[in-house]
Structure formats: structure tokens, C-alpha cells
Amino acid sequence: MDLSITVNGITFPNPFLLGSGPPGTNARVIAKSYDAGWGGAVAKTVSLESAKVVNVVPRYGKLRSRTSGEVIGFENIELISDRPIDVWLEEFRQVKKDYPKHILIASIMEEYEKSRWQELTRMVQDTGVDAFELNFSCPHGMTERRMGSEMGEQRQTLRTSKSLRSLLYAAAPWASRLSTRSFR
Ligand SMILES: Cc1cc2nc3c(=O)[nH]c(=O)nc-3n(C[C@H](O)[C@H](O)[C@H](O)COP(=O)(O)O)c2cc1C
């Protein structure tokens, strides 16, 4: 059965798309998810300086049913990717080469500085990813550096970032802000 859908000019083999997080941690697991049937994946959020991303251990938790003890969900407090951007650029290229019909969306995040966002956008778009997720909404996004949800929730920051968004639209083949949060 053909389950393909076209959204904003992008044709997905099926409507099942993995969100940005631990399941999109590297090219190997993204490839595995495609092999398992997912139509696309949003990779884990990347930034220019992965060395600034310091994760804690442990950072995953299982949620169990109070009655049966069965695992019914997971929680995670993992930050954005702590893998170097050069490694990611190579992996984005490789994934698109090996899976040209599957959709690969890069999730990008930077500090509140236009030139940093522009630099990251240019680097990533050259790899051939299908779309961008501009991460203005993730609570895992190091709010202490005014990144992620901190950027999306502050009206002043967001107002200034409007001009940033139009720049990104011009730079990227297709860009969208997938914000799940309302603005204060
Ligand atoms: C725009 C955006 C980007 C995200 N990027 C990451 C990420 O890079 N790493 C991560 O562990 N979680 C990331 N998350 C969080 C997870 O995708 C997810 O929201 C979290 O695990 C909670 O799951 P739930 O939304 O299903 O409750 C991101 C969330 C959003 C909204």
C-alpha cells in the first residue's frame, strides 16, 4: 500500500517521522529506524561547539505501570548532541546518499547570535538534508545559555529572531520552526 504523503513540497515515504532526541543520535541509528519502517527522522539537535554540551549520567528513566510493573514509557534529560559538528556533517551526507528517498531533517540550535545561526545553517544545508527544524522550543536546550525553549519563550528574543528566521528561510531550501510551546 502506498502511504506516501507530500508536506510543503517534501514527499515522505509514509507519515511516520521520528522526533529529535535519543532515537536520532547518529547515522547508524537513523539508518536502523529507516530499515524498521520510519519514513523520516529529525536528527538530534546539533550546534557549532559540541564540547560545551556536558551530559549527566544516568539520564534515562523507565516509567512503569503502577499495577503491572510493565514499562509504559521513558523519560530523558539528555541534552542536544555532544558529537562534533564535522562528524555530523559527514553523517548527514552519508545518510542522504544511502537513503535518498527517506526524509532527513536536521535540528539546529545556537546561542542568541545571528552569525552563529547563519554559519550553522550554511554548513548543514550543504550536506543535502531535506529540511531544517529550528530549535526554539526544546527544554533540553541549555536554557542557561539562552538556547532552545529559552529563545522561544522570551518575547523579546523571539521578536529579534524574526529577522533571523527570514534569513534562514532564504538560506535553506525549506525551513520551519516546529515550536510546541506557547509564547509568554
Ligand atoms: C525542537 C526540539 C528539539 C529537540 N532536540 C532534542 C535533542 O537533541 N536531544 C534530546 O534528547 N531531546 C530533544 N528534544 C526532546 C525530545 O524530543 C522529547 O521532547 C522529550 O524526550 C520528551 O518526550 P515527549 O515530547 O514525547 O514527552 C527536542 C525537543 C524539541 C521540541
pLDDT above 70 covers a percentage of the chain that reads 83
Q: Could you tell me if 98 and 49 are in contact, meaning their C-beta atoms sit under 8 angstroms apart?
A: no
- Condensed to tens digits (0 to 9), the pLDDT of residues 148-179 reads 877 777 756 666 666 555 545 544 443 444 33
State in Å: Cα 21 to ligand 1 middle: 5
| 144: confidence class by pLDDT, cuts 50, 70, 90 | confident
Positive/negative CA dihedral, 140, 146, 148, 151: positive
State in Å: Cα 80 to ligand 1 middle: 9
pTM of the entire structure? 0.84
Active site residues: 138
In ligand 1, which atom is closest to the CA atom of 19?
A: 17
What does the pLDDT read at residue 104?
A: 97
What does the pLDDT read at residue 152?
A: 72
List, chain by chain if needed, residues with CB within 6 Å of any ligand 1 atom: 19-22, 44-45, 76, 78, 80-81, 107, 133, 135, 137-138, 140, 178, 180
Name the residue ranges covered by the structural domains of the chain: 5-52+80-177
Query: Any idea what the Cα angle at residue 16 is, between residues 22 and 41, rounded to 5°?
Result: 40
- Condensed to tens digits (0 to 9), the pLDDT of residues 46-67 reads 999 999 899 999 999 999 999 9
SS3 35: helix
Superfamily of domain 5-52+80-177: Aldolase class I (3.20.20.70)
Question: Rounded to an integer, what distance in angstroms lies between the CA atom of residue 79 and that of residue 76?
Answer: 9
Task: Name residue 42's beta-bridge partners.
Answer: 105
